[in-house]
A = this chain, B = another copy of it.
Amino acid sequence: MDSLELVKSISIVSPTKIVFLVIDGLGGLASPETGKTELETAKTPNLDKLAAKGVCGLIDPVSPGITPGSGAGHLALFGYDPVSFNIGRGVLEAVGVDFDLKRGDIAARGNFCTVDKAGLVTDRRAGRVSTEKCTELCRLLDGQVIDGVEIFVRPVREHRFAAVFRGDNLSPEVSDSDPQQTGVPPKELIPTHAIARRTANIANQFIAQAKIILAKHSPANMILFRGFSSLPHLPAMSEIYKLKPAAIATYPMYRGLARLVGMEVLETGASIEDEFKTLAQNYNDYDFFFLHIKAADAAGEDGDFDRKVAVIEEVDSLFPELVSLQPDVIVVTGDHSTPAPLKGHSWHPVPVLLYSRWCRADKAKEFSESACLLGGLGRLRATEIMPLAMANALKLTKFGA
């Protein structure tokens, strides 16, 4: 019996509510000047107040030393082992643009790129063409049928798009065509398993067609593919936890992820304030909320320490609106660390704060990496947070006689 099955066997419906506030890329590293991380630098009186009443700790999204992608980080928070349930990049892009991916579909992430007359890649992102241009070009490529396989092409953002191959006998075991460098031609797609020969063949034909169609659209005169993948078999949260879960997220990828685990994705405005409002407006209709704040991660990726601090402070200033709803369980954490000094996702464990009436409060008086290190939750796997939240909501019965 794995841990999802274990939790499923003891979960019960109850009127209590759980709110997960996920500040993307929350964990950080100290600024060399101050010795304080982004979270430690930010003034967060409201999060600190809850930390004093709650229990803190540090979570490893996958395991110590492993830097997760966004999909893996979030799946772990929702209790799904991210190694068993690996979501491919293509699937993530497709569900992120609300594409209704079916079982058996093969999705790939596409980039528009620039190639020179010799066919060598000169810009892997086609000068980051506008999303409008991307949308226009996707329309040109969309709807082809090759050897009975239908190909859907959907714009994502700037140079990025999602392609979905729908037909019989397809397989995701296909290599990337993105060479990850300039001055070389795009790679040919190769089946990494014999079963995917047909898929690689059709996708290569599609690329050849695209090259002809895009010839006059420089700088977006070619495409690159990576992350061929198909839908993993994710049991719904309603099935495992007997929850009625809702997601509040502005970025398509996170909305798509939430949908993959069976959450209802709520309409929301683009600002952090809008997201908190959406929570309040829908509070009566669900018993689990995933509230996703993207901007902290984006600031971290840009290496902008101060902007990440500002995002955390903005979340803190809105946090009382969440607390005033009086959820039975509040969890505040991140899907991974994105330290501004590293300018990217990292392996560092992520601060987590859990509050409930039954949480056995610890001595942590503020929400920070250093306070969490001595917190009552200790160091946990991210997948263990969901069972803890369920327990604190009194939604799990006893295991074993």
Contact = CB atoms under 8 A, between A and B. Distances in A.
A44 B294 CA distance: 45
B396 A68 contact: no
Contacts of A7: 65-66
A359 B338 CA distance: 13
A369 B68 CA distance: 31
Interface string A359-393: 01111000001100110111110001011111110
Interface stretch (A85-93, A126-134, A197-205): A85-93
Contact of A342 (B3, B341, B358, B361): B358
Contact of A360 (B6, B10, B348, B396): B348
A29 B7 CA distance: 23
Contacts of A396: 65-67, 347
A400 B82 contact: yes
Interface stretch (A14-22, A56-64, A168-176, A305-313): A56-64
B380 A69 contact: no
A83 interface: yes
A250 interface: no
Of the listed residues A37, A87, A229, A373, the one surrounded by the most CB atoms of chain B closer than 10 A to its CB is A373
Given A360-B30, A370-B362, A398 B67 contact: yes
A231 interface: no
Contact of A378 (B92, B339, B379): B379
A66 B399 contact: yes
Interface in A313-359: 339, 341-342, 345-349, 358
Contact of A64 (B339, B347, B384): B384
A397 interface: yes
Contacts of A339: 358, 360
A401 interface: yes
A3 B66 CA distance: 10
Interface in A212-262: 227, 229
A6 B383 CA distance: 17
A72 B10 CA distance: 14
Which size bracket describes the interface of A in this complex? 35 or more
A46 interface: no
A270 interface: no
Contacts of A65: 7, 384, 386-392, 396
Contacts of A229: 401
A70 interface: yes
Contacts of A37: 360
Given A72-B400, A347-B388, A398-B345, A363 B370 contact: yes
A88 B401 contact: yes
A304 to B, nearest CB: 18
A71 interface: yes
Given A67-B396, A339-B360, 16 more contacts: A3-B63, A6-B62, A7-B65, A30-B360, A30-B361, A37-B360, A64-B384, A65-B384, A66-B387, A68-B399, A69-B401, A72-B399, A82-B399, A89-B401, A342-B358, A347-B388
Interface of A: 1, 3, 6-7, 10, 29-30, 37, 58, 62-72, 82-83, 86-89, 91-92, 227, 229, 339, 341-342, 345-349, 358, 360-363, 369-370, 373-374, 376-380, 384, 386-392, 396-401
18 contacts: A6-B62, A30-B360, A30-B361, A63-B387, A65-B384, A65-B391, A65-B396, A67-B391, A67-B399, A68-B400, A69-B400, A86-B400, A229-B401, A346-B391, A347-B391, A349-B378, A373-B378, A374-B374
Leading 4 A-B pairs by shortest Cβ distance: A65-B387, A72-B400, A378-B379, A89-B401
